[in-house]
Each structure stands twice: as C-alpha cells, then as structure tokens.
Chains A and B, each alone.
Chain A
Amino acid sequence: MKKFENLGTLNINTRLYKTRLSSKYANRQPYKSADPGMVMSFIPGTVLDIVVEPGQIVRKGELLMILDAMKMKNQIKCKMDGIVKNVLVKKGDKISKGIVLIEME
C-alpha cells in the first residue's frame, strides 16, 4: 500500500522504528551552543547606529550598537571583555533575527 512506502527510521531510546517522518522533524535545527564572541540579533530590525569599530577594546556590558525594532531603540551590549574583531553590518541595514552582527575575540 502507498502509505507504507518511503518510510524513514526514527531512533527512540536506542530502538529503531520504521515510520513516516514529518516535515517539521526534517527541518529541525541541530543544537549549537551559544558563543559569547558572536553578537547576534535577538529581534529583526534596522541598524540605527554602531558605536564601536574593529580593533577597539570593549568591556562586558558596554554598548556596541543600537537596533531599531518594534518601535523601540534596542541597545545591543557586549557579553564579554575583548576586542572587536569584525563588524558585519552597517548603519541602515535591515536585518533578520539570529544573524551575527559583530564578531569578538
């Protein structure tokens, strides 16, 4: 029968089941641990201002840039002491959620 064709395999508690796999399962993102050196956008918006430049030494909690989103001017702050390695966006850029804005080292 057609519904029993194209079955995948799903491992639940070390047992392998023959079954159809959902599109949600196929599209899921594997887990990656957060890297404090990667400053990410937590909300989609527009880059209003960038107050640091590559090579600059910054302290934890210092302002890096302002992201205009949902009618608010959101301050993006540094999560670690370090040096700005790369600024990957520029003033006026429209960005989506979860992209890297600044690389730190």
Chain B
Amino acid sequence: MAVNKKIEELHERRQKLLLGGGEQAIEKQKALGKSTARERIMSLLDKDSFSEYDMFVEHDARDFDMDKKTLASDGVVIGTGTIYGAPVALFAQDFTVAGGSLGLMHSRKITKIMDHALKMRIPLIGINDSGGARIQEGVNSLAGYGEIFFRNTLSSGVIPQISVILGPCAGGAVYSPALTDFVFVVDNISKMFITGPEVIKTVLGEEISMEELGGARIHSEISGNAHFFAESEDECFEQIKRLITFIPWSNDRKARPFDPGEPQAEYNIEKIVPDDPTLPYDVRDIIRAVVDNSDFFEIMEHYARNMVIGFGRINGQTTGFVANQPLEMAGVLDVDSSDKAARFIRYCDAFNIPIITFVDLPGYMPGADQEYAGVIRHGAKVLYAYSEATVPKITVILRKAYGGGYIAMGSRHLRADFVFAWPTAEIAVMGPEGAANIIFRKEIMLSDNPDETRQRKVEEYKEKFANPYVAASRGYIDAVIEPGETRKFLIHSITVSKNKLIQMPEKKHGVPPF
C-alpha cells in the first residue's frame, strides 16, 4: 500500500471513531443539553492544544455476546492539553458509547492518563458521564474502579485533581470524584448517588426523582459533595479555567503569580462591620476589600454558608481565605462548616498556598443534633488542619473570637505566623452575657434586683475583657491594626513569609479526625 493510501486509511479509521456511539446517540445526548466528550474537552482547553491518546483501544470481553460488539475508543477519551498555557491531563467518558459504562480497557485508559499526570506532575481533570460499571464485564469492571481509586489516593496532595460531573455518576463511580480535590456540577445535568431511585423504590418503597436524590443542587447545598455549581456546561468550563489560574501545577511548585492590582473602591473596609457584635454583615465584602482587584473566587458557595472559603490574590500571589460568615447562622462553627474549612486548609497546605483567616464567630453551635452528628470530631478537624499546616498562616480577628472558636480559627497557639486584631475585636473565653452569668452567679442571685445586677456585671465584663488588649498584652496577637491598614499588613506578612521553613516531626502520616 502506498503511503498516501495508508494515511487515507488512518483518516478513515479516525473519522469513524470520532463519531463515538454514532449520530443517533449524539442526537440523544444533545437533546439532554449535553455536549459530546470531545466537544467538552475542546471547550475546556486552549484552542488546538488537545492531543488524544488510545483512540484505537478496544475491549476484549467475551461473555454475553460482547465479542460481537465494538465500542468506539471503549467509551472514554483521554489526552493532554493546556488551559491558559498550563498543561493538564484529562479523560472524558463518552455517554454515547454503551452509556459511558466502565469496562476493563476503559478503566485502563483512565489509569494510563492518571499515571501520566502524576509522572509529569500536572493537574488531572476527569469528565464523568457514565452509567456505571459495564455489567457484562463483571468483576473486571470493579477491578477497574479499584485501580482508579488507588491512583486518586496516590495523587492526592501531589497534583491537583478535578472532577466534572456531566451526566449520571452512580454507585462506585462517585467515589473517584469524592477522592479528588474539586467536584464541579451543572444544574439538571449532573447526578451523583450510591444507590439510585430504582433501588430505593424496590428496597424502601419510597419514590424520589434523580434530581431530588442526587442532583447538582443537592450536592452543592446539602451533602457538600460538590464544590462548584453552574447553570450550564459552558459556565462550568469557565469556572474550571478560573480555578486553574489560582492553583499550582503540582505540590513542588507555587501558583503562578499575577500582576498586582488594587481592590475596587466600592468595598470600603471601614464601613462594613457594624460595631454591635450581634449584627450581621457579609464577610466576603471584607475579603473583596483586601484582595487584588477585589477578585475573590469562592468555593462551596452554597454549602455551610456560615463559613466562607476561596481563593484571592494578595500582591499577585494566590492566597486561600477562610472566614466566618456572620450573615449566615451568625457564623457559628458546626459540623458542616468545620468540615468545609478543614479540608480547604489542608488543600492550601498541600499546594503551597498561604492561608489568611478572618475571625468573627460566636462559638460552636449548641444542640443535640450537632453533638449526635459528631461536632466534637468534626470541630477537631479545624484544629488539626491549622496545626498541621506549614504554609504561611495569617489571622485577622475582626470582631468576636470567643472560647474554642478563638483557638480553632487560626490562633497563635496553633502556630499562626501573624495574628492581627481590629480595635473592634473581642477576644475572651466567652461572650459577656454568658461569662457574667457564670462568674457573678452568686452575686446576681443574692442581689435585690437580679436583672439590674446582671446587666451591670455584663457591662463590667464587656468593659474589661471584650477587647483585643488582654490578648495583646500576652503577645497572643502581634498588632492591633486599623481596618484601613489591613491590606497593607497582609501584603507585608505575605512578603516576609515567602521563605518560611518549618520542620515537622517525622512520621508516616498523622491520624486526623476524618
């Protein structure tokens, strides 16, 4: 065969495979508002930057007449490309081919690109759109999942791993995303669950729709399995691209610095926090008032809103923000918010991203439901995460910092590098009302007018202890600063801690209160 004939044959073979499961299946996919696997990759990557591998891979299953079936590229597309010039490895399951079901060769393609990402130390993006295990391939399919989970775990904390759920994702398939750093979902398209509505109906006799059971909103607001929610696939891809600009390629690098820019004037840091500690404000306005260009990229925006986490830049350098949110549930620490903050802190620590903490919280959420849900061990995650983190840690106490909450939120005692407090800070063992009731209980009880005595004692306690100066006198905070000086102090702290180096005790790994 002449060379040009051979090239022609290659073109023909490619052309056939690029159709995936065929035109009809593609039409069905489109009718659901979904793009095809390769279209998704193109939307995500820089123009003409995609190289596909293993296009010609075929399954070799024999049972249940599988030997008579060919599945294009075995239902998954893998390759490498760039996003704003940053290299990434990725796979995208092709729902048009046997429902994107995972067989042995399908899984081998995925693990091949995962191994590649780890070896090259570049981020891995997985686009999930699969009905689950390919039942005809039996235990081989389960083996495939296991190999993926194992690699997710090996890569954790070494390269960023991003999961995009763009279709159903059921049973074992949800565990790979759960092991990765960030999960993206799209309204009406993404579904995640361990057992689907059918099983629930058979076993429990309960009717529930896929959307109510494991739709994008459920995982963004209730379960906390998803980190980013989008209305459309295009919006989702924009979010992923934006995330890539904030994070480093791997744990032996730093995030790419940007040109610094001043925050926007509309965020006036002097005017955001009310003096009355029981009144709310949006702590995200504080973050926007200090980060470059007021550009704050929030993570898990809809889940445990009493804690705000996300990325911003200080003087061009990516920084992780952790902040109590007085606007939601008074900013209390509870099971979900502890979980949310702790995991983010560990992410930042793993990927050399400094952490800035804004503190304003009334304490821990009381109640049997919280205690039963394990607020002790979940709350302990925050202590563990801050203590363990060796990246620069800067804490600013805006207003209330009471009791256990004060210790947990990046305090000096957990080795924060810089702790600042505003003049409005109240750093004490508990709020004035609670403290006065305990310390002066007898005096209040025995007085002729208990209410008046209580009020006087509360005022006395406020006067004496509800300020930053007691903590400052012990050196627990480094400086009391004016709100308007905050950005200046943050830039300075980040600048002088660039060379931070701490040696932690040698160990295989810790045993955090997962």
In contact, A44 and B203 (Cβ under 8 angstroms): yes
Interface members, chain A 17-52 (any B CB < 8 Å):
17-25, 28-29, 31, 44-45
In contact, A14 and B434 (Cβ under 8 angstroms): yes
A97 — nearest CB in chain B belongs to which residue?
B204
In contact, A18 and B279 (Cβ under 8 angstroms): yes
Q: A4 contacts which chain B residues (CB < 8 A)?
A: 280, 327
Secondary structure of the A side of the interface?
Answer: mixed
In contact, A20 and B329 (Cβ under 8 angstroms): yes
Question: What is the minimal beta-carbon distance from B247 to any residue of chain A, in angstroms?
Answer: 29
Q: A12-B362, A12-B365, A13-B362 are in contact. Are A21 and B433 (CB under 8 A)?
A: no
Q: B431 contacts which chain A residues (CB < 8 A)?
A: 12-15
Q: A3-B282, A4-B280, A44-B204 are in contact. Are A17 and B330 (CB under 8 A)?
A: yes
Judged by a CB distance under 8 angstroms, whether B437 is at the interface is yes
In contact, A94 and B278 (Cβ under 8 angstroms): no
Report the count of interface residues on B (CB-CB < 8 A). 33
Contact of A14 among B332, B367, B433 (CB under 8 A): B433
B276 — nearest CB in chain A belongs to which residue?
A18
In contact, A15 and B362 (Cβ under 8 angstroms): yes
Contact of A13 among B204, B329, B363 (CB under 8 A): B363
In contact, B369 and A21 (Cβ under 8 angstroms): no
Contact of B369 among A10, A14, A22, A28 (CB under 8 A): A28
Interface members, chain B 412-438 (any A CB < 8 Å):
430-431, 433-434, 437
Q: A21 contacts which chain B residues (CB < 8 A)?
A: 329
In contact, B329 and A96 (Cβ under 8 angstroms): no
Judged by a CB distance under 8 angstroms, whether B205 is at the interface is yes
Contact with A along B194-211 (1 / 0, CB 8 A): 000000000111100000
In contact, B205 and A94 (Cβ under 8 angstroms): yes
Q: B206 contacts which chain A residues (CB < 8 A)?
A: 44, 96
Q: B278 contacts which chain A residues (CB < 8 A)?
A: 15-18
Interface members, chain B 392-411 (any A CB < 8 Å):
402
Question: What is the minimal beta-carbon distance from A73 to any residue of chain B, in angstroms?
Answer: 14
Judged by a CB distance under 8 angstroms, whether A7 is at the interface is yes
Interface members, chain B 326-355 (any A CB < 8 Å):
326-332, 336
B365 — nearest CB in chain A belongs to which residue?
A12
Q: A24 contacts which chain B residues (CB < 8 A)?
A: 222, 336
Question: What is the minimal beta-carbon distance from A77 to any residue of chain B, in angstroms?
Answer: 23
Judged by a CB distance under 8 angstroms, whether B366 is at the interface is yes
Closest 10 CB pairs of A and B: A17-B330, A94-B205, A31-B368, A13-B434, A12-B362, A19-B330, A44-B204, A14-B433, A10-B330, A17-B278
20 A-B pairs with C-beta separation under 8 A: A4-B327, A10-B330, A10-B332, A12-B330, A12-B363, A12-B366, A13-B433, A14-B431, A14-B434, A17-B362, A18-B278, A19-B280, A19-B328, A19-B329, A20-B327, A20-B328, A25-B329, A28-B369, A44-B203, A69-B203
